[in-house]
Amino acid sequence: MNILGVESSCDETGVALVSCEPGTTVPRLCAQALHTQIDMHQAYGGVVPELASRDHIRRVLPLARQVLADAGAQLADIDLVAYTRGPGLAGALLVGAGVACALAAALERPVLGVHHLEGHLLSPFLSADPPQFPFVALLVSGGHTQLMRVDDVASYELLGETIDDAAGEAFDKSAKLMGLGYPGGPALARLAEFGDADTFELPRPLLHSGNLDFSFAGLKTAVRTRLQKLGTNVCEQDRAHLAASTQQAIVDVLCAKSVAALKQTGLKRLVVAGGVGANARLRAQLNAECAKRQARVHYPELALCTDNGAMIALAAAMRWQRGLATPQRDHAFDVRPRWALQAA
Ligand code: KG4
Ligand code: ZN
C-alpha cells in the first residue's frame, strides 16, 4: 500500500510517499520533498495567507513529481492520496485538498483528509526510536499547545491546552519584539545561546495552577515591558540574556506540565511533537526531567518537527492499517480551518 501525503496548512508545502502493510508494523517513508516559504514571508514579519496559498499552487505538483522520482515510483503506484484537511489557513488548505482530490479522481483512487496535529503527534513513529502506545503527547507548534493522552491512533484525550497564545507564538512574538526575524523560534533560540537565562526574571504563567493548562500571553507582555525598561539602545549582550530568559521561562512551563501529565496519567512515555519540539533547550530539559522519573521521551527526527508531507502520509497509513480510515471515494472535498483533534 503506497500513500501519497500532501501538507499545505500554513507556510510549508510538503509531499511524501509512505508505504505500509496491514497490521501495526511501522510504515516506511519512501521519499519526501518540502518547500518552505520562510524567505517569502520574512519581509512581512509573518505569514501572509494569500501569498501562502499562491505559493502552494506553484510548488505542490513539482514536489509530487520529485517525490515519485526519488522513490522510483509512478503515479499508478499510488494507492491512496492523503491531504491535510485542517486545522490551518483556509486558502492554503484548499490548495492541498484540491490537488489531492483531483489526483485521486484522475487515478481512480480513494482520498483521505488528515488532521494536521495527528500528523505531528504520530511523526515520531518515523524516527529511529519509535514510541509505543500509550503515551502522553506534548504538542507544541505555532498555533497549538496541548497535552494529550494517546492510547492508540484516533484515541486522544485532551489533558490540557493553552488558554491564549501557543508556545510557538510566545517564541515568535517575543522574537519580533526583540527585532529578530520570522520565524522567531529558531532565531530566538540561536540568540539565547549567547545569553544567561538567570539575568532577567520573567513569569512562568500557570506554573502552579494545579491543572495542565498553559498561558503565554503574559510572558510576551513581560518581555515587552523589560525591553521598554532597557531602552532603545539595548546592547547585544542584554538582548541575548533576554532571549535566554524568555526561552527558559517557556521551557520551564512546558517541562513542569509535561511531568505533571505523566504523573496524573501514570504513564512513563512522553512524545514531543510540533515545531517547538526542535528546541534544543526544551529537549535537554525534558530528557533530564524524564530520566529522573524513569520515563522515556520520543521526538520526531529534527527534519520532521516542523510541517511536512511525511507526517500526513504516515497518519493516513496508521489509520488505514487499523481499519480507521474511511477514504472519500466521491472526491468531493472540504477543509476544516478550525478542527479539534478529538473530533478527528
Ligand atoms: O509545527 P510548526 O512547523 O507549524 C505549525 O503547525 O504551527 O511550528 C512552527 C513553530 C513556530 O512558532 C516556530 O517559531 C517554532 O515552531 N519553532 C521553534 C524552533 N523551531 C521552530 N521554536 C523554538 N525553538 C526552535 N528551535
Ligand atoms: Zn504544524
Ligand 2 centroid distance, CA of 68 (Å): 24
Domain that includes residue 172, residue range = 133-299
pLDDT confidence of residue 265? 98
7 in any annotated domain: yes
- State the average pLDDT over residues 31-58: 96
Q: What is the pLDDT of residues 134-144, one digit of tens each?
A: 999 999 999 99
Question: Which segment of 1-5, 106-110, 299-303, 340-344 scores lowest on mean pLDDT?
Answer: 340-344
- Can you tell me the distance from the alpha carbon of 225 to that of 277, in angstroms, rounded to the nearest whole number? 27
Q: How far is CA 254 from CA 45, 52, 125, 138, 260, in A?
A: 26, 30, 22, 8, 10
Q: What is the pLDDT of residues 168-204, one digit of tens each?
A: 999 999 999 999 988 899 999 999 999 999 999 999 9
Residues facing 19 on adjacent strands? 2, 28
In a shared domain, residues 161 and 208: yes
One domain, residues 107 and 217: no
**Chain Cα centroid distance, residue 69:** 27
- Pick the closest to residue 337 from 105, 125, 96 (CA basis): 96
Q: What is the pLDDT of residue 182?
A: 86
Kind of pairing, strands 80-86 and 2-7? parallel
Atom of ligand 1 nearest to the CA of 168: 12
271 lies in the same domain as 144: yes
Q: Is 198 in the same domain as 328?
A: no
Which of 11, 146, 171, 182 most suits a substitution to test ligand 1, by most atoms within 8 Å of the C-beta?
171
pLDDT confidence of residue 332: 78
The closest residue, in CA terms, to atom 23 on ligand 1 is: 185
Claim to verify: residue 61 and residue 117 sit in the same structural domain = yes
Q: What is the pLDDT of residue 140?
A: 97
| H helix runs in the chain, sequence order | 38-42, 49-71, 90-107, 116-122, 167-177, 184-192, 217-230, 236-265, 280-292, 309-321
- Ligand nearest to the Cα of 187, by number: 1
pLDDT at 128: 93
Q: What number of residues does the chain have?
A: 344
Helix, strand, coil percent content, the chain, rounded in steps of 5 = 45, 20, 35
291 shares a domain with 164: yes
| pLDDT recorded at residue 326 | 79
Radius of gyration of the chain (CA): 20
Partners of residue 157 on adjacent β-strands? 149
Q: What angle do helix axes 90-107 and 49-71 make, rounded to 10 degrees?
A: 30
Q: Whose CA is nearest to atom 26 of ligand 1?
A: 279
- For ligand 2, an ion, list residues with CB under 5 A: 141, 307
Name the strand (E) or helix (H) holding 83.
strand 80-86
The pTM score is 0.95
| Count of structural domains, the chain | 2
Examine the domain organization and report whether 76 and 151 are in the same domain: no
Ligand nearest, relative to CA of residue 175: 1
CA atoms within 13 Å, Cβ hemisphere of 265: 24
Report the chain's terminal Cα–Cα distance, integer Å: 23
Residue located nearest, by CA, to atom 16 of ligand 1: 275
For the cut 80, the answer to whether the pLDDT of residue 331 exceeds it is no
Pocket of ligand 1 (CB under 6 A): 10, 141-143, 168, 171-172, 183-186, 189, 274-276, 278-279, 306-307
Kindly identify the ligand whose nearest atom is closest to the C-alpha of 273: 1
pLDDT single digits (tens) 297-330:
999 999 999 999 999 999 999 999 999 987 777 7
Separation of CA 330 and ligand 1 centre (Å): 35
The model's pLDDT over 253-266, given as tens digits with 9 standing for 90+, comes to 999 999 999 999 99
Q: Which of 256, 166, 183 is nearest to 220 (CA)?
A: 166
In a domain, 267, yes or no: yes
- CA–CA distance from 33 to each of 2, 28, 87, 142, 257 (Å)? 16, 15, 21, 21, 34
Distance 332 CA to ligand 1 centre (A): 32
Distance 153 CA to ligand 2 centre (A): 18
**If DSSP codes are grouped into helix, strand and coil, which group holds residue 125?**
helix
- Buried b / exposed e over 4-20, threshold 16 CB at 10 Å, is bbbbbbbbbbbbbbbbb
- Ligand 2: centre distance to CA 306 (Å): 6
Q: State the cell numbers at 96.
A: 492541498
Q: Is it the case that residue 252 has pLDDT exceeding 80?
A: yes
Helix and strand tally (H, E) in the chain? 10, 10
Task: Look at residue 127 and tell me if it is in a domain.
Answer: no
Rounded to an integer, the average pLDDT of 112-123 is: 97
Q: What is the pLDDT of residues 93-102, one digit of tens each?
A: 999 999 999 9
Average pLDDT, the chain: 96
Mean pLDDT of all residues in 28-49: 95
The pLDDT of residue 325 is 85
- Would you say residue 222 lies in a domain? yes
Cα distances (Å, whole numbers) of residue 130 to 1, 5, 177, 288: 21, 20, 38, 19
In a domain, 128, yes or no: no
Q: What is the pLDDT averaged over residues 53-67?
A: 98
Q: Which of 281, 299, 317 is a domain's end point?
A: 299
Mean pLDDT of 46-51: 95
Cα of 168 vs centre of ligand 1, distance in Å, is 5
| Same domain membership, residue 272 and residue 235 | yes
Co-location of 144 and 109 in the same domain: no
Supply the CATH number for residue 330's domain.
3.30.420.40
The H or E element that residue 156 is part of is strand 155-161
Closest residue by CA, ligand 1 atom 13: 185
Q: How confident is the model at residue 51 (pLDDT cuts 50, 70, 90)?
A: very high
Residue 343's pLDDT band, with cuts at 50, 70 and 90, is confident
- Residue of the nearest CA to atom 22 in ligand 1? 185
Atom of ligand 1 nearest to the CA of 116: 6
pLDDT over threshold 80, residue 333:
no
pLDDT for position 230: 95
Cα 342 to Cα 344: distance, rounded to the nearest angstrom: 6
